[in-house]
Amino acid sequence: MSIVVTRIDERLIHGQVAYSWSVAYQVTEYLVVDDEAANDPTQILLLSMAVPSGKKLAILSVEDAVSHLDAQPDSMKTFIVVKSPHVLLSLIEKGIMLPSINVGGMYYKAGKQEICKTVYLDEEDKAVFRKIKDHGIACEIRTSPSDKSIDLYTKI
């Protein structure tokens, strides 16, 4: 398997993600890992409409994503997108090695603090990111590929 980008974005796939990141990293497949979206026909339809022509799309639960990734050929350049760091920690704990994590959009909700323009975290989120850090995985904040990378760990 070849994971080229792993991104946290509560919007999952949208124009910016679908185009700019796929061009910058020559993505061949989008993998949305989200238990809710995997079981929602409307979400599946909307996400499939956001993926550029010629790119593959899989929308899977955490369990199914592990099997999917384990079966991937090295030639597949996969872009993983999730809504929360909790999902990525689950993948890591199930043996999926992520080269790094890009945090693009975790938006304001009651109890969350702004750590950057597009990233708001609560104490539980911070604890999950610390566990990810313990696995030696870098986490950056970057909205688009051309933005300056900010080390998330320096903000928590």
Spelled out in words, what is the top-level CATH class assigned to the domain 2-155?
A: alpha beta
Query: Of the listed 14, 68, 86, 135, which one is catalytic?
Result: 14
pLDDT band for position 86 (cuts 50, 70, 90):
very high
pLDDT on residue 1:
61
pLDDT on residue 8:
96
CA gap 83, 147 in Å, rounded: 20
pLDDT tens for each residue of 1-52? 689 999 999 988 887 667 888 888 899 999 999 999 999 999 999 999 888 8
pLDDT tens for each residue of 4-18? 999 999 988 887 667
Is 135 in the active site? no
